[in-house]
Amino acid sequence: GAGVSQSPSNKVTEKGKDVELRCDPISGHTALYWYRQSLGQGLEFLIYFQGNSAPDKSGLPSDRFSAERTGGSVSTLTIQRTQQEDSAVYLCASTPDRVSGNTIYFGEGSWLTVV
Amino acid sequence: GNSVTQMEGPVTLSEEAFLTINCTYTATGYPSLFWYVQYPGEGLQLLLKATKADDKGSNKGFEATYRKETTSFHLEKGSVQVSDSAVYFCALSTGNTDKLIFGTGTRLQVFP
């Protein structure tokens, strides 16, 4: 597709279960980001992948959160042993290269609800 | 560290009113500055940007000027429409990572 694609768009899970969220960036984009948007909060940076470089994981809130990017394209964000405070919209974004000031393109997000 | 502060909402206006949403930033170096918009039920999309001091970004009647002396990037529109109702996010990126740091967002509600 033409844009950043995320799945699932909505996920309801029980507390303590693991969840996986998937992101397909725009074809050819080397940089990929995950952000979290909680109700009433801004966008919180989680992790950033750029080409073959080591990812910037500085925003991951705990060791229950991890992400990988296979083949420099698709990325999966995994949340283990989910907690209610993990409920949020998880946004993926991509950009063509690492030149500062580039436009970042966002997907529509995966809405996670932990019950 | 780098951060963005924007005015809390909601901002409620009548159609054709003048809009200002304040945004100030703290950053090392020379950041690029952005406004993103999130319309109801849609994903975030870039509204406008400015990459160096005194640049003015503009789009869809919205404008913002990069003011280094006041570390600000206030969003303005001369005459808002109901269709402008959305959440507006100010953001910056620094260095060569393009990692965006966002403000908390300001909800704009425009009534006929």
Q: What CA–CA distance (Å, rounded) separates A103 from A96?
A: 8
Q: Which helix (H) or strand (E) holds B109?
A: strand B106-111
Arithmetic mean of pLDDT over chain A? 90
Q: Which of B51, B104, B105 sits opposite A101 (nearest CB)?
A: B51
Q: Which residues pair with A92 in a beta bridge?
A: A34
The predicted-structure confidence for B81-109, as pLDDT tens digits, reads as follows 999 999 999 999 876 666 788 999 999 99
CA–CA distances in Å: residue A101 to residues A69, A76, B30:
23, 26, 11
Query: How many beta-carbon contacts under 8 Å exist across A and B?
Result: 64
pLDDT of residue A101: 62
Nearest CA-CA distance, residue A22 and chain B, Å: 16
pLDDT of residue A41: 72
CB atoms within 10 A of CB A62: 10
pLDDT of residue B65: 98
State the average pLDDT over residues A43-66.
91
What tokens appear for B5 in the block?
A: 């502060």
Closest to B75 in 3D by CA, of B10, B33, B19: B19
pLDDT at A37 over 60: yes
pLDDT at A26 over 80: yes
Nearest CA-CA distance, residue A50 and chain B, Å: 8
DSSP label at residue A55: P
More confident of the two residues B71 and A72: B71
pLDDT at A1 over 60: no
The predicted-structure confidence for B1-32, as pLDDT tens digits, reads as follows 889 999 888 999 999 999 999 999 999 888 99
Give the residue on B whose Cα is nearest the Cα of A42. Answer: B104
Q: Which of B42, B45, B98 sits opposite A98 (nearest CB)?
A: B98
Q: With contact defined as beta carbons under 8 Å apart, do A95 and A29 qualify?
A: yes
What tokens appear for A12 in the block?
A: 């309801």
Strand pairing category for B11-14 and B106-111: parallel
Residues of A engaging B, defined by a Cβ cutoff of 8 Å: 4, 31, 33, 35, 41-43, 45, 48, 50, 56, 91, 93, 95, 98-109
* Sequence-separated (6 or more) residues with CB below 8 Å from residue A36: A43, A44, A46, A88, A89, A90, A91
What tokens appear for B101 in the block?
A: 């740091």
